[in-house]
Every structure is written in structure tokens, then in C-alpha cells.
Amino acid sequence: MKTVFPIHKFRELPTPFYYYDTKVLRDTLACVNREVARYDNFSVHYAVKANANPKVLTIIRESGLGADCVSGGEIRAAIKAGFPAGKIVFAGVGKADWEIDLGLDYDIFCFNVESVPELEVINELAAAKGKVANVAFRINPNVGAHTHANITTGLAENKFGISMHDMDKVIDVALELKYVKFIGLHFHIGSQILDMGDFIALCNRVNELQDKLEARHILVEHINVGGGLGIDYDHPNRQPIPDFADYFRTYDEHLKLRPHQTLHFELGRAITGQCGSLISKVLYVKQGTNKQFAILDAGMTDLIRPALYQAHHKMENLTSEDPVVETYDVVGPICESSDVFGKAVDLNKVKRGDLIALRSAGAYGEIMASGYNCRELPKGYISEELV
């Protein structure tokens, strides 16, 4: 399966913009549902933070997935897209009171709680509404992930979650509170993880915690292991859909679920990453002292991942008919030295006006765009709009 680019339509649109191939997205969702159906007690929530484009959200909701939200704005976006409140989980280390109230008003499935003070605030706000909030505790398992340091979230030094050493104390507090109900454990060790060994390490830690809880005669209804499954940024056409079979099988084989428990996942990048591309136009080709620069009209304001994470995105010249391949530093127009998409990139010979696709940009792309330098935010189009 290969993303199809309607180049004749692209030429009619102001650049830069995001393009989402909905066949890739729907095929990815079908694969997720097919693999999850092999297990009686697995449930998937889409991580809205990866891509909250309303048209993309609607397609994901139509597939039957739940939603994983980390802000009140994401809860509203999920509700507007039609996600049932009963399939929404609300995570995040810093939930404001109004955001908690919003979750309570919608009767969302669960709050993933990250501290005792947060737990006490949820109890207080729920009491004011005469409601009981379902809560799961996000535990920091001190498990490292083989990924970029900025997207590792499961180490003791990270801001996320409750220390394993404090788990008993937090549970004791919860059991004393009248307006929260402790129903689960939540984990998330990082993002863009390709080594199944990291997930096996998480399973082993969860098994240890479950044994400790059972020793106290405490049973939880569900385990939420977060997400983190990565995608192939180097070869988006070769592997447009991640190996979900291996991913879910890893948890089935290594996590010791109890018969009554459900296992929840929060997948974002793995669902939307490969369906999206940032489409940009070449403004200038500039000859430097010892290199060529291809200067695009897209910059770090449109796709910040290369500047923020040193992330790599495969680039393609969509409109060049020149078979000659040349090497360029591909850069944007922003007044920052870090506004670089890639160095020493081989592309079919570039000229002014060529359209360049930055692939695998369907996650943490459009959603992270900014107005720095007073630039307009890029628009997003799905393939059905451009036929």
C-alpha cells in the first residue's frame, strides 16, 4: 500500500498544508480492530494529542475506538467528533479544575490520576456535583524506553506518574475518599518505541505490582498500558501499517491479566502517523559555500519534530521530472538556525515551485503547529476532499 498524492489538486492549493490519505488511515484502523478482536478483553483508545484534525477524528470514531485525552480541549474535540463519553479516558499531570469539572459533567470513563493532591481535588469537585469519579493511578514504573529522551516518560526522573514506592499510600488515600472509585492502573513509558523488549519490561513490572496488590486483597478492574508503538519513518511505503499483531501478542504473552480484567491501550502515532504528509513548495534553491539549500515555504512552525526531537522525515520531490538526484540541506523560512528539516538529503533535482512531501507527518505535525513569526497555521485536507 502506497500513499497516493493527487498532485494536480495540490497545485491548486496554497502551501504549506497537511494531506491525509484516508485509505491508509482506514486500513490502519481495520488492522487494529482485526488484531484486537483476537482477544476478549482488549480495548483501544486513540490518543487525541497525536492529531486532532476534526475530519481525522471522525474517521477514527467511526472505527469504534475510544479516546485518550490530556486536556479539556481534547475532551471537547472528542465529544464533538462523536466519541462516547463512556469511552474517554483523561490523563495529564496538570489537570485544571475546569477540565476535571468538564470530565465529571460528561461522565467520562476514567481519570488517570498522577498525584495525591490531584486525587483530592477530583474528590472535592465530584462531591460538589454529587458524583463518584472513576480513577486509575498512573504509576511511574521506572522503565526506560529505547527512544528520544524528550519522549521517554516512564523513568523515575520524569514528571509523570506516581512513584511505585508511593503506590500503597495513594491507594490508601483513595479508599478513604467517598467520591472517587479506584478502578485501575495506568502506565505509559514513552513514544516511538520499536523494541518489543521495552513493552516486555513494562509487563514484568505490572505483574510485580499486581502481585503486591493481590497480597493486600485489592483487585483492579482494568490495566491501561498506554501506547508508544512507533512507526517506520525511513520507509513509509514499505511499512505503512505498524506490526500491531506483534504488539498486542507481546502483551497477551507477557502480561498476567486476571480473568476479570480488561487491558486498555492508548495508540496515537501508530494510527495516524503514516497517513499524513506535509506538502510544501520550494521557494528558492540557494548555492552555499559547500552545499545546496532547498528553501521551502514550510518551516518548523508547521512541523516542529525535526527541530524539537531531531526527528527524521523522509522527503520526496513530487513534481520533478528530472532523473538527476542531487543533495540538499532542506530548510524552512523561519528566523531560527534550527529550522532545518534535513541535512544532506538526496532528492530528484529541485527547482523553484516544486512540491516537496515530508512523509509520516500524520502524528504530532498539524497539532503542534504554531504562529511564531506571525505565520498562519497550515490547513489540513483529507483525500476525499481532493478527488
Binding residues, as ranges, are 228, 266-269, 305, 309, 336, 364
Q: Which residues are catalytic?
A: 335
What is 146-184 written as a DSSP string?
Answer: SS-GGGB--STTSSSSEEGGGHHHHHHHHHH-SSEEEEE
The residues pairing with 330 across neighbouring beta strands, listed in sequence order, are 294, 342
Q: Three cell numbers at 2?
A: 502506497
User: Distances in Å between the alpha carbon of 289 and those of 63, 282, 293, 347?
Assistant: 52, 20, 10, 19
- Residues making up the annotated binding site for substrate are 269, 305, 309, 336, 364
CB-neighbour burial class of residue 372 (10 A; exposed 0-12, middle 13-18, buried 19+): middle
Q: Three cell numbers at 124?
A: 472535592
**What radius of gyration do the chain's Cα atoms show?**
22
Q: What is the DSSP pairing of strand 292-296 with strand 325-331?
A: parallel
Residue whose C-alpha cell is 463519553: 85
Q: Are 294 and 347 in contact (CB under 8 A)?
A: yes
CA 74/CA 57 separation, integer angstroms:
11
User: Distances in Å between the alpha carbon of 141 and those of 198, 199, 223?
Assistant: 12, 12, 13
Q: Report helix, strand or coil for 199.
A: helix
- Residues making up the annotated binding site for pyridoxal 5'-phosphate are 228, 266-269, 364
List the one residue out of 372, 373, 380, 317 whose CA is nearest residue 350. Answer: 317
CA 278/CA 359 separation, integer angstroms:
7
CA atoms within 13 A on the CB side of 336: 15
The residues pairing with 190 across neighbouring beta strands, listed in sequence order, are 152
Q: Are 89 and 224 in contact (CB under 8 A)?
A: yes
